[in-house]
Amino acid sequence: MNVYVTTSDWYNPLIPAFAHLFNRFWSPDQPVTILGYTAPGLEMPANFSFESLGAASEFGNEVAEWSEQRRGRHFGELYPTPRWSDSLKRWLARISDSYFALLQIDYFIYRPVNRQQVRVLEQQIHTDNVMKVDLTLDRAYFAHSPYAECDQFNIVVSAQDALYRSSLQAAIWRSEYLDTMLKPGRSPWDFERLGMHEHLNDGKLILGSAPQDQAPVPYLNVYGQGKVNWRELNRLDPESMREITERGWIGPHWNGWTAP
Confidence (pTM): 0.95
In a domain, 242, yes or no: yes
Going by the DSSP 8-state scheme, the letter that residue 77 receives in this structure is B
Going by the DSSP 8-state scheme, the letter that residue 142 receives in this structure is S
In a domain, 71, yes or no: yes
pLDDT at 128: 87
Closest CA to 26 of 111, 106, 102: 111
In a domain, 49, yes or no: yes
In a domain, 129, yes or no: no
Looking at the chain, list the stretches that DSSP marks H as alpha helix, in order from N- to C-terminal side: 15-25, 84-94, 115-124, 175-181, 188-198, 230-233, 238-246
In a domain, 146, yes or no: no
pLDDT at 111: 97
In a domain, 237, yes or no: yes
CB 208 within 8 A of CB 134: yes
Domain interval for residue 180: 3-113+170-198+218-246
Closest CA to 1 of 165, 175, 130: 175
In a domain, 40, yes or no: yes
Rg (CA), the chain: 18
Give me the phi and psi of 124, to 5 degrees please. -70, -25
Residues in Cβ contact with 235 at an 8 Å cutoff, skipping those fewer than 6 apart: 110, 220
Task: State how many domains the chain has.
Answer: 1
The DSSP H or E segment spanning 50 is strand 48-52
pLDDT at 39: 96
Closest CA to 140 of 164, 120, 117, 111: 164
3-state helix, strand, coil in the chain (%, to 5): 30, 20, 50
In a domain, 121, yes or no: no
pLDDT at 72: 65
Per-residue pLDDT of the chain (260 residues; tens, 9 = 90+): 999 999 999 899 999 999 999 999 999 999 999 999 999 999 999 999 999 999 999 998 887 766 665 666 666 776 678 899 999 999 999 999 999 999 999 999 999 999 999 999 999 999 989 999 999 999 999 999 999 998 889 999 999 999 999 999 999 999 999 999 999 999 998 999 999 999 999 999 999 999 999 999 999 999 887 789 999 999 999 999 999 999 999 999 998 888 88
